[in-house]
Structure 1
């Protein structure tokens, strides 16, 4: 940490893995610039405070029952959290402001602002009453964040049986068939929730994206025009500040010595993030595709990934024995360490934004298999816009998986993809270096926070 600048920033992440990691990365970045950090968090999915001894963690009650925390309808979950957390959050923040004012001069750390996840929508009234400036962190790519406010309108217009490859004009680069899958999810709370999120963003002092101009060339100018607040695309800075310490899952470190024994760029890494669920039949098809490809593989099967099972018991014993000959199956992998490893040659991914950014930063080409929400758009960016991956088009069949792995590792198309990925990695890498687009954006953000 640079010398303390006497300013404190309050951070408030949404309690899911894909939102906690970027918020803690942002905390590390700001701490390195002299800010002291206090993280207010819910009891549900509380981050591990012991992994971040330099930050202060304050837990608030969220009132969620165990049944509510297990719901598949994330919009319902976030709506509940916003209802239940407003009063405890207000009380916690008010106490912090009072104690900050009463500190002695030597210990004084003036609270500069609140930075909260875009999923918290009750914050405008709280911060207004306490006269505290407020910034928003979006864990989506700019394009998805900007266009997903149109989803209620698109739901009314789209044909539910569309399998069209046509671009959705109001939501590029999504295809019509992606939109149908995205809208399949049960989201009766979606319209009011998105409306409140948009209002909370537009009334903020700015929005932060863990991305850069190089990954959002088309959408950033439009976002500035539509949202009319300062936008800080501060870059995928995770390479300087690893997120592994923010993991809510126990990481199986045994996969690293296993990777050490594999040849360079020979292994396909397979992971579907912290929220996706699939059927047992789908996991079996993926397992056969991996086995039949002949490539060594590292497969992460999160507990809860396969509906109605404990772990991987759905895979027949005979297939399991064959899988063990070529690959390794773990419950959760230290993903950043894995993607950095010289043995990794490809990533079969659900295309969560954090995973996409980490893959780009490490120059690992992708095979796209999106399941929910922003993953469909992220997959189109990877396969259609940047052209640094192949798209399975939701065909979870062993032959398709085998053939995509072979194409990526041995085909001419795979070679072209690897070359484009190498160039994209270099462009994104330059953005966070001195005078790069993300570096300059971070400087502006630090100036903005310091000016409050």
Structure 2
């Protein structure tokens, strides 16, 4: 289900401020206390994989005494609020104000067209962000002291300068992807890329020891958009260096042990503070766009330890009907219990009928469960999960690593190939599926690889070693813990 929200049509400061979702459940005295806190504006790229870690970071900042205004586009703000209301309301966001600004797109525009949306964002959103900030001040909110922005929102830097707001940044993918972005001039100089970002040679390269090898066809800006939109996306990756250089600190949802090679060559203002969570008990909402089906947790409770294959491909991947059918039949073929996340838009229209899928679900009802969305962090932390069949988005990758879950990698686009190569080639905590000559991962391939991953004791052992390293890193005295304290101290200046 997608919740739409139209622009109010007014751009006055007071009207813009009226679109803020205020602190919920606060008494008058609590509101007065909140007004005295340092005010931080958090600005993600409006995509699930960017909103989630920045919402987790926002909860952590509130816990350290900051007041946070979290800015989404109107369309995505409506989806977040709708999912929160389906879960019982917005009370769990106490300390975080939700705000929205227009994205410059029409209601009927495709908000999955990455080239179109980033072009629109850079042209329209700076002015809307300016009006939001002015509107908050006009409404009596504290002056914004810091902007903590997604590095991909490079256009927000000039807005912050205009208001005298200090800037820190958040890098959502693997730190290795930031290395790749910063090395673009060198890759062009070496003749690996032309100045438009297209590979000049078909080859696998490695930027430094510890950074996963990558084929030129799998660079983060490749396989993302149609060729005509490629210049917009390539320019976006080039511009990340600008915000990285100007931000006082750039924090990453990563930790030293998994990306030591990348952090050795990144600028000293780029530091890992992960793996991120909203809170130790995983109770606080993380800005989901779809309502979570929590019944799957009770279903997991009834399964044996280390028996369940968890299958989820994030918020963007779309399978054609043939691949969808092979995936379904492959899960059935394993004979193992499985939990499969199937978004309403997960497959394209075609010869896959609703009747076929209903029949499939009836057939596997004793062993498999299909949900439209789920509380993934709680699922991956569950004792029953044996392995994670994943698109290898960075949030999912960190969530799997933090819980010591082996992976079966099935990347879809963008940075996910870097993450897959970390898992299979550097950490060796999982395997990857291999498509056939027609580009399809067959049901037999899925069954075979699931059995290999689950049955490989060395993969399980390494996964547990990285789990333990992750937990040490975020515990008191760990590197990520100490880096986060430095970040908090900076924001308090």
> What's the TM-score once normalised by structure 2's chain length?
0.81
Deviation, structure 1 residue 235: 1.4
Query: How many residue pairs end up in the alignment?
Result: 433
Deviation, structure 1 residue 277: 1.1
Q: 1:209 to 1:196 in 2, by over 3 A?
A: same
Secondary structure of the 1:195 match is: helix
- Alignment-derived partner of residue 89 in structure 1: 129
Which segment is superposed worse, 215-224 or 320-329?
320-329
Deviation, structure 1 residue 384: 0.9
Q: Is 1:221 aligned with 2:264?
A: yes
Q: Is 1:12 aligned with 2:43?
A: yes
- Alignment-derived partner of residue 27 in structure 2: none
Q: 1:179 to 1:199 in 2, by over 3 A?
A: same
- Alignment-derived partner of residue 448 in structure 1: 490
Q: 8 Å contact 1:68–1:77 — kept in the other structure?
A: no
- Alignment-derived partner of residue 118 in structure 2: 78
Which segment is superposed worse, 358-367 or 148-157?
148-157
Secondary structure of the 1:25 match is: helix
Which structure 1 residue ranges, 5 or more long, are not aligned? Answer: 104-108
Q: Is 1:176 aligned with 2:215?
A: yes
- Alignment-derived partner of residue 303 in structure 2: 262
Which structure 2 residue ranges, 5 or more long, are not aligned? Answer: 1-32, 85-89
Deviation, structure 1 residue 407: 1.2
Q: Is 1:323 aligned with 2:364?
A: yes
4+ residue segments displaced more than 4 Å: 97-100, 149-155, 168-172, 309-312, 314-320
Q: Is 1:195 aligned with 2:220?
A: no
- Alignment-derived partner of residue 250 in structure 2: 207
Secondary structure of the 1:189 match is: helix
Deviation, structure 1 residue 432: 0.6
Q: Is 1:42 aligned with 2:73?
A: yes
Aligned partners of 1:63 and 1:180: how far apart in 2? Answer: 28
Tell me which of 119, 122, 128 is aligned to 2:152.
119
Deviation, structure 1 residue 145: 2.0
What do you get for the CA RMSD once the two structures are aligned? 2.8
- Alignment-derived partner of residue 352 in structure 1: 393
Tell me which of 179, 191, 209 is aligned to 1:146.
179
Tell me which of 263, 271, 274 is aligned to 1:232.
271
Q: 1:126 to 1:352 in 2, by over 3 A?
A: same
- Alignment-derived partner of residue 442 in structure 2: 397
Secondary structure of the 1:298 match is: strand
Q: Is 1:371 aligned with 2:404?
A: no
Q: 1:110 to 1:188 in 2, by over 3 A?
A: closer
- Give the 5 Å matches for 1:296-307: 296-307=337-348
Aligned partners of 1:288 and 1:194: how far apart in 2? Answer: 38
- Alignment-derived partner of residue 106 in structure 1: none
Aligned partners of 2:99 and 2:337: how far apart in 1? Answer: 44
